[in-house]
Structure 1
């Protein structure tokens, strides 16, 4: 479980389509990660210290979501379309379902010998998209998998031999967006991609020299965010000079705005768009006192 380094801050930012950014919350006590935006627009849902937290967007107040019956969670958590349920990946390698107001959770993945890292819920709430790590062996590439959200048999989606991560449904449910190393022979060179939910139409969204992770579409489907790592990065490590990138989905090659920061792991692992598609959240981890986020 990650913790802050000496002198390090955890900063939760909210950015807009116009390129503006506002510091909502800053702390040197807990390392928060991976904001989801609640369906009612009132709060961000994050993980930290193995627990789930709710951060009030208006007041900046932080409160634990009192879940029971679940091991320590990681930064792979996604809200269900009903606005009341959350699906979570825990450090035992399983996916759980719980209520946003707390209480007992239910495990929905089976003991199939793999680790399960959740990233997407279909718009109708019936299916999940996750990354499976066979035999818990991280030397093997992650595989794109789908399964019923109520539990049941998983299905693999062929996206080539390279490691993939972050599979997330488009707002219309027709596509899965993710990052993959299948377009390169260079280990670690993740690029953005998508494939139809029926397993056809696999295509690269952006060809770049940087290492690009976690594409997230806005609810209206018009824009997307992702995390850009320097070329040569392997995986999605923490505490690196990265940038959160905002693009229109009809032209992934032309950023609307970028936000350089210190981060990577935890910054934007899951979809953090507001319900009205005008704002999104991300997390930075600077080793200095809080300052206004850089924008370009």
Structure 2
């Protein structure tokens, strides 16, 4: 009888410290190591923000005490979030961050991406259960007055990498470590430790994203992909909005299938996106997508956008036996009118006069894309570029009509440029190592939003499923700042997706493949 009672008490004890009700996207939360002061975790749906409280003596030596909000995960993944302690006072060594752990045992092997109360930011690890915690000799301190930090952890095979950025900056690698004894199935999530057994600390955490990248066998070229014998995955998508002032993101729609390229509708209340050859609108706070009527033009791609007078929608679509051509249709829907006779042609911008569009196309047997201005009534084309090498894309007018912004690769990296509406006066705007695509001008004409791809891709391509950033810079040129770190690429922000008040942007990020 005593043995049975002991078993019951042990089961109750475990249940008391490990709760399985979901908190946001996390399935478990627990006090690890029996801290004197218990912690808790909660999620605020309206702001998509997590609040975690935790006590604990330390996360160090050969055992840990802390509050943990986590999922059970396998394979490769990318964890990204922004962190901030609530309250300026507290132990200098209080800790928040991401943790990958072999189990909920207090002595479990783990890899921790840690931000301390005094600004110390470091990767720490326990290679085996019961071993002493380790960290590198070169520790990085951020200033105490830093408002918040974004922390990212990526696992590829047995290798785990930590990256950190202050608001507006690119992610910088803090450390990388092979963990050969870490199992494939792990716990991964958010943590907090007060570093004082008599105190409970609190932190808020937002822009929390868990991404499952494609395997290393995935090929970025769609023409090659379709001929490969192995099945190539299609990742699910999130439709997100972000306020550019503070970088706060909200997921408003998710799908296990692929959708792309949002436009913000003129009333500011709905977004437009393409999926499966059709166009859909959805309320900006989320809801059920509604199909937009595009008549017999039903193979629409991710190049579409709204005229400055808010009356017309330009779409790019292909018919059987042809590649993409450009059409215009009333914004409320209807039968589209063909604008470009030649193909391939991809729409990217409206002229402020609402009578012309800018397109990217191949002409006269050339294998090099160039930019053109096309009259929507007559179909007359005017060449804006005449490149014989490299690639140009994404031509978009400024609201005042003085410039056309675009991206080009004349020297080996894709950068942002602008020119006068007649194609003269070309000037380069960005000068960094990233491959920068799709400049989108805010309605007030003050800002350029664009996507930056990593340095190791073909500069003439904008593939899916990459670690990319969304950036913001003054329209006249100047230093850019990062406003979002995400897993995405093709379809993320191909077309202008600024809100009418120039305060927010919509975009698509990728999550994970649908289970078969």
Q: Give 2:307's aligned residue.
A: 80
1:261, 1:286 within 8 Å by CA — same for their partners in 2? no
Task: Give the equivalent residue in structure 1 for 2:149.
Answer: none
Counterpart in the other structure of 2:398: 170
Q: Does 1:121 align with 2:350?
A: yes
**8 A contact 2:262–2:507 mirrored in 1:** yes
**Per-residue deviation at 1:261?**
1.0
- For 2:251, the equivalent position in structure 1 comes to 23
SS of the residue aligned with 1:285? strand
SS at structure 2 position matched to 1:103 = coil
What SS does structure 2 have at the residue aligned with 1:67? Answer: coil
Q: Deviations over 1:277-296 (max 9, x none)?
A: 1111010012279xxxxxxx
Q: Of 381, 393, 418, which residue of structure 2 is paired with 1:194?
A: 418
Map of 1:1-296 to 2, 5 A cutoff? Answer: 8-18=235-245, 19-28=247-256, 30-91=257-318, 92-110=323-341, 112=342, 114-134=343-363, 140-158=367-385, 160-161=387-388, 162-182=390-410, 184=411, 186=412, 189-234=413-458, 235-255=461-481, 257-287=482-512
Are residues 158 and 67 of structure 1, via their aligned partners in 2, closer, same or farther at CA, if it must alter by over 3 Å? Answer: closer
- For the pair shown, the structure with the greater C-alpha radius of gyration is 2
SS in 1 for 2:362: strand
Q: Deviations over 1:159-190 (max 9, x none)?
A: 644310000001111111010012x0x3xx21
1:293 maps to what in 2?
Answer: none
Local SS of the residue matching 2:399: coil
RMSD: 2.1
Once the two structures are superposed, residues 88-107 of structure 1 have per-residue CA deviations (whole angstroms, 9 ceiling, x without a partner) of: 01123211111232221111
Cα-to-partner distance string for 1:216-251 (whole Å, 9 max, x where unaligned)? 010111111101001132200111111111222244
8 Å Cα contact 1:273-1:279 kept in structure 2: yes
- Alpha-carbon shift at residue 141 of structure 1 (Å): 1.9
Query: Residue 244 of structure 2 contacts residue 483 of structure 2 at CA under 8 Å; is this kept in 1?
Result: no
Is the 2:277–2:301 contact (alpha carbons within 8 Å) kept by the matching residues of 1? Answer: yes
CA distance in 1, matches of 2:464, 2:327: 25
Aligned residues: 277
**Whole-Å separation in 1 of the counterparts to 2:489 and 2:365:** 23
Give the Cα separation in 1 of the matches to 2:358 and 2:339. Answer: 13
Q: In structure 2, how many angstroms separate the alpha carbons of the residues matched to 1:250 and 1:202?
A: 13
In 2, the alpha carbon distance for the partners of 1:203 and 1:209 equals 18
CA displacement, residues 250-279 of structure 1 (integer Å, 9 cap, x when unaligned):
444231x33111111000000000111111
1:119 CA displacement: 0.1
Q: Please report the TM-score for the alignment, with normalisation by the length of structure 2.
A: 0.51
Asked whether the 8 Å contact 1:109–1:151 carries over to 2, the reply is: no
Partner Cα distance (1:278, 1:159) in 2:
36
CA distance in 1, matches of 2:369, 2:298: 22
